[in-house]
Structure 1
Amino acid sequence: MSTHADLLNQVWTDVSQTMDQMFALEPMTKRRMEQLYNKIDSYMKSNERSDALLNELIEQQERLREEAKKKEKKQDNATAAVATTAAVTPPVPAAEIRVPGGDLYYKTKDYLRQRLQEIADSDRSSNDYDFLRFYVRTWTKYQFLTRVINSILTPVHINWISRQAANNSTDVYSIHTTAMHIWQDIFFKNNQSLARSCLDFIRDHREGKQVDLSLVKEVVDSYVSAGFTEEDRANNQSRLRIVASLEIYRDYIEKPFLENTSLFYKIKSEEYLAENSVLDYIKKANELFSQEEDRTKKCLHETSLPNVQSNLTTILVQDKLETILPEMRSLLTQENITGRFYQIIGSLDIVLCFVDLKAVYIFLNRAADAHKPLQKTLKEYICKIGLDAVERVRDQAEKDPKIYIETLIGVYTRFSSIVEVAFCSNAGYRTAMNEACVEFINRNAVTNQPNKSSISAELLARYCDAILRKGHQARNIDVDKKIDENMAIFNYIEDKDIFQKFYFKLLAKRLVGQLSASDDYEELMITKLKEVCGFEYTLKFQRMFQDMRLSTNLISEFENYCEEKNYNNIVKFSFMVLTSNTWPLKGLSKFNLPIELTPTFESFMRFYATKFNGRKLEWAHHFSKGELKMTYTVSKNTVQVSTYQMAILLLFNTVDSMTVEAMIDTTQIERKLFLQVLVTLLKGKVLKCPHLRSNGEIKENDIADDFSIDIDLGFKNNMIRFSLYQPIRSIEQADAEATTQSIDEDRKIVIQAAIVRIMKARKDLQHSILIQETISQLVSRFIPKIPMIKKCIDILIEKEYLERDTKDRNQYRYLA
């Protein structure tokens, strides 16, 4: 067997020749690689290596003892103990080089450094472009070569490098990592021209020159790939742990790149802003942002992009905000932008109208809190536009809810589209618009009138009633769209309880009068209200529809009942049986039914009594209507009338003339109500009064009890079917007044319920906190006034739900 030195020389000769061939790009067979690997492995397992390791261990122990003795002579006993302990892990000794594996490692390291330095010195590039191409070619070849060498020297890594890791040796890495450190020393640390050439290329591209950025990217990637850092080796199974690091890249590429970028754009932005308008500057800044971000993605590592964006934001946005904000505010309020949109709202080119505003949004979106001044301006501007719009329709608003609500919808739609398209539905701008809408919808020229603070809720309910009634579709209105628009306004209404009350009454009238255009639309509206305000808000609405469905079944059952009983004197009859505590309907004083209707009513009463025991029916005749055939006319017209009108007209089946007094006695209708009904028949010319002028306006006060009323046998109407049905004015007026008057009382009940719920859960509470929690609970339905809350607290104290603390009058206690 050869000696250790001979074996080392033989192995190193083969390794160095192989590396020479690879640097020369000569082909290498797989068999040759395997032979070299086996030879190195045999060398690492030779007896000479074992003897060298044993000798090294003995020498190391001798060195430790000698060092400990020297320290004991210089320090006292306590200090010597510490020093001895600290001396257990000395630096890597030079003798490690003599251990088989160490010699190959350091020979390989010296070879790579010498060979790479020769390659670097051989560069004769005449310009930066040629130099970068030379560098990229060299780097590509070097990466491949080092991976192959690292694979061949795997036995060295297993048997020697890992042992150094166990001993916490420094400056010893895998062959590949060592090769990267050598590359760093020669091309990065000792040669600044490479990074400078890359930065010059990027500067040229920034100035509009043609540059191959892919070449720059390959160079930059080498700074990333060649960067390594050493992690803590403890508890890592005696293996080195080297991880990638961007430290080299950041020091030599990113840091100077950011400095150059900041300087370039600081000068560029000041020059451009001085020579152009603010809007042009904003568009140019957005363009520069996009260009630089694209350039960064193409040239640098992905981690650099946030730093570049931050630098550009500071220079192009934040440093210029104070100068450009005033002009951006004026841009927002220019009618040539918002007005232009309003005129072509149906066009497919809506986005084109907001190019300027969107450019401002994109510009401000890059800086934190930069939007706030513009959002404040947007809120103030929407408020102004909304209030001005309402001011223009103030006189017609209460008489025509359509004008008022569609004015609100127009302002909302206009600015909602601006926020959606120009400001990308940004939450801050949406909030600003919402706050403005709440303000001008609830506090405007119409609501500021005496006793009209809640008029917006009432008018919205009346407008909903209009679009959900029959006949609305004849005007080619998209009801689904109208419902969505109404719900948008509803979301901003503060007095949602008032809307509920009026909508409740109007829905009842539509259902009872069979005036709904579609049950599907009605249920859609209720579903949307429930989504906003919850199940309890629409509970009565849903029960009303349930009663309608039950009534339909009852009609079918009553018809079967009449057939079984052979009732032949029944007129064609439909009805609705409605739960009294669900519907906002009340019966009026009784009157004498016409004898023609009595059998039908009595039959139904008997039917209902057999089906439901203990239930009491109360007839709401003022909501009822029917049809009469006028057999005395040539055309045999059919007229639709109310029950009261029918009762009066049926009197003339047996007579041609009656006095007012006799008619009242026979029908037993209250005189005031009777006169209202009679006037409608006189105006319809179905009846006539010789005591009144035929061409004059007929008033209730002009009719005396002794006036005779005649049937007009000469009545003519070109329509075979026509209607004289009209709601009774006095009932409508009393109903509206009762609705308005009950609002405060209903709110007091709701507030008291909320206070009891809060106190039941909290037991003890301070006055101010109770006020705050009560408002927060009720704000979704209405905003309770503090004096009313205080009054409700006093009422609950009187009812012994609460009591004041004897020591602190501002403290309340719940009484179970």
Structure 2
Amino acid sequence: MADKKPIELEEGWASMQRGIDKLIRLLEGETESQFNAEQYMMLYTTIYNMCTQKPPYDYSEHLYQRYREAFNNYINDKVLPALREHRDEVLLRELLSRWNNHKVMVRWLSRFFNYLDRYYVLRHSLHPLKDVGLLCFRDQVYADVKRNARSAVLKLIEREREGELIDKMMLKNILDIFIEVGMGSMDHYERDFEEVLLNETASYYKRKAAEWINEDSCPEYMLKAEDCLRLEEERVDNYLHASTKPKLLREVESELLAKYEQDLLQKEHSGCAALLRDDKTEDLARMYRLFSRITRGLDPIADCFKEHVESEGMKLVKEVAEAVEAKKEKDAGKPSRDSGTSHEQQYVRQVIQLHDKYLSYVSTCFANSSLFHKALKEAFEGFCNKAVAGSTSAELMANFCDNLPKKGGSEKLSDEAIEETLEKVVKLLAYISDKDLFAEFYRKRLARRLLQDKSASDDHERSILTRLKQQCGAQFTSKMEGMVTDLQLAREKQQNFDEWKQRKNKQLPIDLSVTVLTTGFWPTYKSMDLALPGEMVEGIEAFKEFYEAETKHRKLTWVYTQGTAVLKGNFDIKSLELVLSTLQAATLLLFNEAEELSYGEVQERLNLQEEDVTRLLHSLSCAKYQILAKEPAGRTISKNDKFKLNVKFTDRMKRIKVPLPPTDEKKKVIEDVDKDRRYAIDAAIVRTMKSRKVLQHQQLVLEVVQQLSRMFKPDFKLIKKRIEDLISRDYLERDKDNPQLFKYLA
């Protein structure tokens, strides 16, 4: 059988060209029937035969070249002339149509020439046929129209920014061409379109920002900026590539926000300070959202917030100082025990409200940002450590906490409200640098409440101690917790004493109640060797007997200054119950045995120092209740005075409490705290030097400050003084060559 005659190149290509021409007519919309299976197989077979013939009739290489030429011819004859006669949106629509046609042409021709793809292309590591078609389009069509197409796209985007409706789907499809011609790389999209888009965007918003900053208030400007950012994000979602989003938004943020931040924040009637002043929480939240987008954009807002809060706090400090001063002037000449106390209580209440308000700003407007928590902390530290009407905030907070759980306190609150307020005031304590001062004031107040049975609830007392422990550590509250526990044990001890009296059948001339305290827990009280009246001596001896039998190796020391007594006073008009201190009661009982006593006789019989006797006699003869009559009459006590019972004394109440003149407790507290601070500084210096052995002066001071700052802010001069003292006591020594270097002496 004779060999089949090979197909010549031109003969075979003429057949293929007819198929290509038919495809082009279809693409151009001319009247032409679709390819049927027979036509398709004939074209496919022609290529197959021309590629499988024996050399020199294997035309694979020629066909691969002619495949590319078919695209180039079509592009030059039909596509480019059609595109070059259009501009703007019409150009984009034509380009999209030509791109879609091109993809159809690639799909069909690559099928006809499929055998080339499977063998020739693979064997010679050439571009696959689909890529050849795409490269033809990129190198000729895309290269020719990309500038005009980009210009048309950018015009449409600007029109959309100005509020016009545009064909978003068409834009997306056009931009897909910029992406697809990259064949897996974004280079063409980024270089030929995105770079110019970003420059145009910056220019557009630069113009807008320059207009708006002069015309609009800060809130109006921010609304526009937020709207622009939202629309740009939508723009990306609608037709730009996702990778463009951060770059595009960065341009908008830079032009609208970064470049105008100071101008916006400092706008006179609508800037950050004005928004804070007028409680514009929604605008503040928007400001936070917008400026959190730019690097360090929140810093100036946090500074403004801090300044505003501190200024509000200083206003409160000034108001209370003025109110206290006004009250002092009004009360001048009148007896007044605690001028200004109500104003100071109100001050703490207002500080709590201020903290609630701006803490809520931090959570709602500023997304609980640590930057704004820090600003709030620094603002409160700024004014909370200022003197308030001559008192420290530590003292005022201790007084406030004393008033809350007290029976008949000025704060008439439910249990839940007391708990909530306690929690808030303890949170404020975090801002006080002198926490040790608060602790000492509070301990003194707590002792007084407990000993005078002024505490409304043990639960409230324990609750505040739990909160203080969480805030300041166990060491802070250990003594106070001991005091509360002491009171419970003392009640049990009293019950045991009552049972002991029954067992022993002991009848005492007075009802005696004794509170046994542990010395280490309680404040130091003044001890005195009071000569007790006989009525009291018998009761005390009985308790001693009971206590010593029950408790070995413990010594009782009686603190008469903290005791109370109730006496019945038989006056001419009516009998009255008098609630007195133990010392006042002992003084009055002297007048059961003598009708008249001189100052010296009272002092001798009580065995007290002059200052105590003067204070006692003043409270009983010159103050609110004049139970003793003084000769000569007057409002001051002298050593020549004589006293007797004022039998004409009466009062509308049946039971009255006779107060003692207040002592300067504040001075004593401050002295005690100063002493404790010296010990604390000594301990911190020795602790640090023991572990480090040798240390520079500055480093030692810094480490000591760091150790102690949780409880108080140590004074540098005091630390220096304590170092000198420790050197003199041979705990440390100076280096001979470097006086700034210290060594620890074991």
Within 2, Cα distance between the matches of 1:792 and 1:500? Answer: 23
Q: Which amino acid aligns with 1:458?
A: E
CA contact (8 A) 1:133 1:215 kept: yes
Determine whether 1:203 maps to 2:136. Answer: no
Mapping 1:644-723, distance limit 5 Å: 644-648=583-587, 657=595, 659=597, 668=607, 672-674=611-613, 676-682=615-621, 688-689=627-628, 699-701=636-638, 704-705=641-642, 707-709=643-645, 715=650, 717-719=652-654, 722-723=655-656
Per-residue CA deviation, residues 622-659 of structure 1 (Å, 9 max, x unaligned), is 2222445679999986554333344455667x769464
Are residues 1:776 and 2:706 paired?
Answer: yes
**Structure 2 residues not aligned, in runs of 5+:** 28-32, 326-338
| 1:788 to partner: Cα distance | 1.6
TM-score when normalising by structure 1: 0.70
CA gap of 1:675–1:315, structure 2 versus 1, over 3 A, is closer
- What residue number does 1:586 align with? 525
Alignment partner of 1:495 out of 434, 444, 459:
434
Aligned letter for 1:580?
T
Instruction: Call closer, same or farther: CA 1:328–1:310 in 2, change over 3 Å.
Output: farther
| Whole-angstrom CA distance in 1 between matches of 2:5 and 2:645 | 143
- For the 8 Å contact 1:188–1:194, the answer to whether it is kept is no
Report Cα offsets for 1:674-725 as digits up to 9, x if no partner.
55445545579987445559xx7654438835x332666x846445xx3415
2:145 alignment counterpart: 191
Worse-superposed segment, 507-516 or 200-209: 507-516
Alpha-carbon distance change, 426 to 114 in structure 1, aligned in 2, over 3 angstroms: farther
Q: 1:688 to 1:725 in 2, by over 3 A?
A: closer
CA distance in 2, matches of 1:190, 1:409: 71
Aligned equivalents of 2:484, 2:23: Cα separation in 1: 94
Structural mapping, 1:169-568, within 5 Å: 169=125, 172=127, 184-185=138-139, 188-192=142-146, 193-221=148-176, 223-224=178-179, 227-228=182-183, 244-276=184-216, 280-320=220-260, 326-327=266-267, 331-334=271-274, 338=276, 340-341=278-279, 353-355=280-282, 357=284, 360-362=287-289, 364-372=291-299, 376=303, 379=306, 383=310, 386-394=313-321, 396=324, 399-400=340-341, 401-406=344-349, 408=351, 426-428=369-371, 430-443=373-386, 446=389, 455-472=392-409, 475-476=412-413, 478-487=417-426, 489-562=428-501, 564-565=503-504, 567=506
Whether the 8 Å CA contact 1:201–1:211 is kept in 2: the answer is yes
The verdict on how the C-alpha distance between 1:299 and 1:686 changes in structure 2, with shifts beyond 3 A counting, is same
Q: Specify every segment of 5 or more residues in structure 1 that has no aligned partner in the other structure, as ranges.
A: 56-94, 229-243, 342-352
Partners of 1:631 and 1:176 in 2: how far apart? 122
Question: Where does residue 722 of structure 2 map in the other structure?
Answer: 792
Q: Tell me which amino acid in the other structure corresponds to 1:460.
A: M
| Contact 2:403–2:411 (8 Å) recurs in 1 | no
Opposite residue 210 of structure 1, the aligned amino acid is L
What is aligned with 1:745?
675
Distance 1:473 1:249, change over 3 A: farther
User: Is 1:806 the counterpart of 2:736 in the alignment?
Assistant: yes
The residue type equivalent to 1:391 in the other structure is: K
Question: What amino acid maps onto 1:213 in structure 2?
Answer: K
| Equivalent-residue separation in structure 2 for 1:203 and 1:591 (angstroms) | 97
Query: Relative to structure 1, is the Cα distance of residues 111 and 606 closer, same or farther in structure 2, using a 3 angstrom cutoff?
Result: farther
Give CA-to-partner distance per residue, 1:298-324, whole Å, 9 cap, x none.
Answer: 332222122112212332234445655
1:220/1:742 CA distance change after superposition, 3 Å: same
Shift of 1:265: 1.9
Letter in 2 for 1:518: S
Root mean square deviation, CA, Å: 5.2
Which residue identity does 1:543 align to in structure 2?
A: G
Rounded Cα–Cα distance in structure 2 between residues aligned with 1:609 and 1:149? 117
Q: How far apart in 1 are the matches of 2:243 and 2:347?
A: 56
CA distance 1:286–1:275, change in 2 (3 Å): same
**Residue deviations 1:554-611 (CA, integer Å, cap 9, x gap):** 4454455555555565976554332212211325213345555555544443443344
Q: Taking structure 1 as reference, are residues 204 and 662 closer, same or farther at Cα in structure 2, changes over 3 Å only?
A: same
Q: One-letter code of the match for 1:390?
A: V
CA distance in 2, matches of 1:554, 1:145: 106
SS at match of 1:765: strand
Q: TM-score, normalised by structure 2?
A: 0.76
Distance 2:428 2:547 in 1: 44
Secondary structure of 1:209's match? coil
Counterpart AA for 2:558: W
Q: Against the structure 1 CA distance between its residues 462 and 159, is the aligned structure 2 distance closer, same or farther, given a 3 Å change threshold? A: farther
**What is the CA deviation profile of residues 270-313 of structure 1, one whole-angstrom value per residue up to 9, with x for unaligned ones?**
23445555664454334333333333343322221221122123
Identify if the C-alpha distance between structure 1 residues 430 and 204 changes in structure 2 by more than 3 Å, giving closer, same or farther: same
1:658–1:710 contact (8 Å) kept in structure 2 = no
Tell me the equivalent position of 1:625. 564
Cα shift at 1:120: 5.8
Alignment partner, residue 84 of structure 1: none
How far, CA to CA, are the matches of 2:707 and 2:269 in structure 1? 37
Is this contact kept in 2: 1:390–1:407, CA < 8 A? no
Tell me the amino acid that sits aligned with residue 787 of structure 1: K
Q: Matches of 1:566 and 1:140 in 2, distance apart?
A: 117
Q: Distance in 1 between matches of 2:513 and 2:58?
A: 115
Q: Which amino acid aligns with 1:746?
A: D
SS in 2 for 1:245: coil
Distance 1:686 1:256, change over 3 A: closer
Query: What's the CA shift for 1:755?
Result: 1.5
Q: Report the CA distance shift for 1:331/1:315 in structure 2 as closer, same or farther (over 3 A).
A: closer
What is the CA distance between 1:205 and its match in structure 2?
Answer: 0.9
Number of aligned pairs? 705
Structure 1 residue 758, shift from structure 2 partner: 1.8
Give the conservation status (yes or no) of the 8 Å contact 2:307–2:379.
yes
Instruction: Give the letter aligned to residue 547 of structure 2.
Output: Y
The 3-state SS of whatever aligns with 1:191 is helix
**Alpha carbons of 1:28 and 1:795: their partners in 2 closer, same or farther (altered >3 Å)?**
farther
Q: Specify whether residues 571 and 225 from structure 1 end up closer, same or farther in structure 2 by C-alpha distance, changes over 3 A only.
A: farther
Q: Could you say which residue in structure 2 is the equivalent of 1:724?
A: 657
> Aligned equivalents of 2:701 and 2:509: distance in 1?
61
What is the letter of the counterpart of residue 412 of structure 2?
A: R
**CA–CA distance in structure 1, aligned partners of residues 383 and 624 of structure 2:** 48
1:206 is displaced (CA, Å) by 0.6
